[in-house]
Chains A and B, each alone.
Chain A
Amino acid sequence: MSWITKTLTSSIGRKLIMSVTGLFLCTFLVVHLVGNLQLFKHDGGAAFNAYSHFMGTNPIIRTIEWGLVLGFGFHIYEAFALTRRNKAARGQGYAQWKAEQNSEWTSRNMGILGTIILIFLIVHLYNFFWRARFAGDLPKMGGADVETADYDNLYLAVVSSFQLWWYVLLYVAAQISLGYHLWHGFRSGFQTLGLNHRKYIPVIKYAGYVFSVVVAAGFASMPLYFFLFTNERGEVVSNASSLLQSVASAF
């Protein structure tokens, strides 16, 4: 083995990959969240579809996409590799184990949280990414604008999916998992990179908490909003309270 593979397959090396890919995926979450906010624009999906068309066709984005694939791939692969290693480090377990008295639940259950997110990811990718990119069975936008008429109407696909209660449930559960995953993962990523300083660690810690809540709540708000307040075309239904209408129109 060369020094590089030796480094990256050592216990700390694997953690470094987890950390780097994890923090990279955090930036992806930000981009994805900001893009998805177009859903709330109340323009019949025009902005969202334009955005998704751009993301699906722009050559730079398509290149970065490969980075994303690698990021997810390594993050998941290393997670399995580390879990296996860590399980093997304690063959015989304890009869009594009170870890809740010395650590946070989230930090001990990153694997479970990650697995829920992975299941969600597969469903999510199939429903939207796969259908848009490969299956090509999404409805088209149509309309007067010649340039956008041919775009996939991903907006409609998304909004209509969010009318299914089980789909919304999966979404929300996954976002809660993501929130908890980030609750530990954000700060942990910095710790693994060695970025722990008594001056800055409280900042990183609370930034991580804010980040995880904002990201999880942001993503979860979409299925909930469309499920509760709109029809399958994304139009606000009349029985939604006026307060929520005004909140929605603020976007």
Chain B
Amino acid sequence: MAGSNPNAKPMNLTLNVWRQAGRHAEGKIVEYKVKDISPEMSFLEMLDVLNEDLLHAGQDPVAFDHDCREGICGSCDLFINGRSHGPEKGTTTCQLHMRKFSDGDTITIEPWRANAFPVNKDLSVDRSAFDRIIQAGGYVSVNTGGVPDGNDITIPKEIADRAFEAATCIGCGACVAACKNASAMLFVSAKVSQLALLPQGHAERKTRVENMVAQMDKEGFGACSNIGSCAAECPVGISLENIAMLNREFLVAKATSNNLA
């Protein structure tokens, strides 16, 4: 009996995996076979099996990013069978389990594709563009110490909850990967909305959105065409309402800020 399910039959699968030696190297899809994959395995554990096989055969294992394997760190980022994080809704790659696949399936695994996310190697991409966008203004400028008591700022529960929902973004980049335009609007909007909703963020409300959008454009992400793939593929369910809020914040900031640059 494999795992909890005594009827779980091991599967044999064909994997089409993107292999690329380094950032400037040519890449291609390479076919691999994996055998005896338990349906109880997570997708990444299936890749672990592949990598152990490759290593025993003296070949270079497939590089991919992962860490917490519980869906919160945002490291894992595989484009599986044409979808960000694979076929299951609201799920990161690490939480996708092989019981969602069937014996004999062919699975295509590619890295996130966006010029702003260059490939490091194989399936690992560089998402530091996201960090630079946050550095452009995704914070409240307070130093450690000298802040008021936590309860001096009252925040209606509804506002706190909405800010929280925007703040749950894990920065994985599935939105960019799924977007036809490789747009980062959902990511940027989540942070802008969180801080625009909360009173703590109001002091820098205008400069924040101006600077973060400017950085987003500089990184070479596409524009939003309100397609909605991003929100549909977001593993933590960041809503399109945030993008509307970003647009609104941007428009108001540009129209009313004192920034002439």
- Given A89-B115, A94-B113, A107-B228: A196 in contact with B183 (beta carbons within 8 A): no
* Interface positions of B (Cβ within 8 A of A): 16, 18, 29, 79, 81-83, 87, 108, 110, 113-116, 178, 180-183, 213-214, 216-217, 220-229, 232-233, 240-241, 243-251, 254, 259-261
Report yes or no: A103 in contact with B115, Cβ–Cβ below 8 A: no
Expressed in whole angstroms, the minimum distance between the Cβ of B9 and any Cβ of chain A is: 26
- Given A88-B115, A95-B29: A103 in contact with B229 (beta carbons within 8 A): yes
Report yes or no: A194 in contact with B247, Cβ–Cβ below 8 A: yes
Expressed in whole angstroms, the minimum distance between the Cβ of A153 and any Cβ of chain B is: 43
Which residues of chain A have C-beta atoms less than 8 A from B241's C-beta? 196-198
> How many pairs of residues, A versus B, come closer than 8 Å at their CB atoms?
143
Chain B residue at minimal CB-CB distance from A97? B82
Which residues of chain B have C-beta atoms less than 8 A from A90's C-beta? 113-115, 181-182, 222
Report yes or no: B251 in contact with A193, Cβ–Cβ below 8 A: yes
Report yes or no: A16 in contact with B82, Cβ–Cβ below 8 A: no
Could you tell me the distance between the alpha carbons of A198 and B162 in the complex, rounded to whole angstroms?
12
Could you tell me the distance between the alpha carbons of A187 and B250 in the complex, rounded to whole angstroms?
19
CB interface residues, A 172-219, toward B, < 8 Å: 184, 187-188, 191-198
The 8 A CB mask of A1-17 against B (1 = contact, 0 = none) is 01100110011111110
Give 9 CB contacts A-B under 8 Å: A12-B250, A15-B223, A15-B224, A15-B247, A96-B82, A107-B227, A191-B244, A193-B251, A194-B247
Expressed in whole angstroms, the minimum distance between the Cβ of A74 and any Cβ of chain B is: 15
Report yes or no: B226 in contact with A192, Cβ–Cβ below 8 A: yes
- Given A3-B254, A108-B180, A193-B247: A91 in contact with B115 (beta carbons within 8 A): yes
Report yes or no: A88 in contact with B213, Cβ–Cβ below 8 A: no
Report yes or no: A89 in contact with B221, Cβ–Cβ below 8 A: yes
- Given A7-B254, A90-B182: A103 in contact with B223 (beta carbons within 8 A): no
A102 touches B (CB below 8 Å): yes
A85 touches B (CB below 8 Å): yes
Q: Is the interface of B mostly helix, strand, loop or mixed?
A: mixed
A99 touches B (CB below 8 Å): yes
A110 touches B (CB below 8 Å): yes
Report yes or no: B110 in contact with A94, Cβ–Cβ below 8 A: yes
Specify which of B81, B222, B248 is in contact with A96 (CB 8 Å cutoff): B81
Chain A residue at minimal CB-CB distance from B261? A3
Chain B residue at minimal CB-CB distance from A192? B247
Which residues of chain B have C-beta atoms less than 8 A from A37's C-beta? none
Which residues of chain A have C-beta atoms less than 8 A from B225's C-beta? 15, 82, 86, 107-108, 110, 188
Could you tell me the distance between the alpha carbons of A102 and B250 in the complex, rounded to whole angstroms?
27
Report yes or no: A11 in contact with B108, Cβ–Cβ below 8 A: no
Specify which of A6, A12, A99 is in contact with B229 (CB 8 Å cutoff): A99
Chain A residue at minimal CB-CB distance from B247? A194
Report yes or no: A188 in contact with B229, Cβ–Cβ below 8 A: no
